[in-house]
Amino acid sequence: MLDTILGYGQIIIADLILSGDNALVIGMAAAGLAPELRKKAIFYGMFIAAVLRIVFAVIATTLLDVKGLLFLGSILLFWVCWTLFKEIRSASHAQTEHSIGDPSNPEMVSTGAPQKTMLAALISITVADITMSLDNVLAVAGIANGDTQMLIFGLGLAIVLMAFAATLIMKILSKYPWVSWLGLVVLVYVAGEMMYRGFFDISTGIGPMLGLVEGMDMSKHH
């Protein structure tokens, strides 16, 4: 009984930590859209994240043994960071040269030019979800240790947390565009941490696999 309670507690903590970066990407991508498209972007982003989590959960044990997967994911996440950087920079220049509506009205201010398309936002969300959902699922699967009920609970909680957090983040970024730079710094850190583990982890890192380094036990799912 105590082990079960501790297991659920660990899953809640893991979800709180690992769902935040997904929510940040979804919120930042949605905030760069025109106001009427933002809720749709969050909904589609949550749907994509949910589907990916289910797929990854089904093949979690196989993914645990794939060497170099985390390193590849970090490269994809860095690409998302670069895309968001260009959008934020363009928006900053646009806001310097032009007044976008009434600054006191959060519906009229965005972190990116509202001309950003839904497709562009969904591409960024999907690529980020592939990398960060993988990390989340592996952590939860490791804690659940074969307990299907616990695994389902962890995945469901992660999706609920992302939905709430992404909406909140989008509203904050829409009202205070400068906060998007802080969000970008967080995502770059997450990508860097993933790349570090993806290279040096003794079990799945490409460094030990290629014989470049001895490797360290850095697994999050144990």
**For residues 156 and 32, what is the distance between their CA atoms, to the nearest angstrom?**
27
The answer, yes or no, to whether residue 66 has pLDDT greater than 60, is yes
Residue 221 belongs to a domain: no
Lookup: tokens for 174: 């829409």
Q: Which domain holds residue 158?
A: 2-210
**For residues 16 and 13, what is the distance between their CA atoms, to the nearest angstrom?**
5
Nearest to 52 by CA among 33, 73, 30: 73
- The predicted-structure confidence for 88-97, as pLDDT tens digits, reads as follows 787 776 666 5
What's the pLDDT band for 125 if we cut at 50, 70, 90?
Answer: confident
Please provide residue 188's backbone torsions phi and psi, each rounded to the nearest 5 degrees: -65, -40
The answer, yes or no, to whether residue 45 has pLDDT greater than 50, is yes
Tell me how many domains the chain contains: 1
Residue 215 belongs to a domain: no
Residue 42 belongs to a domain: yes
Residue 100 belongs to a domain: yes
Residue 169 belongs to a domain: yes
Quote the pLDDT of residue 60: 64
185 compared with 19, residue with greater pLDDT: 185
**For residues 190 and 171, what is the distance between their CA atoms, to the nearest angstrom?**
22
Residue 143 belongs to a domain: yes
Nearest to 26 by CA among 141, 161, 193: 161
- The predicted-structure confidence for 191-220, as pLDDT tens digits, reads as follows 888 888 888 888 778 888 888 888 787 655
Whole-prediction pTM: 0.65
Quote the pLDDT of residue 63: 67
Residue 216 belongs to a domain: no
Residue 45 belongs to a domain: yes
**For residues 128 and 136, what is the distance between their CA atoms, to the nearest angstrom?**
12
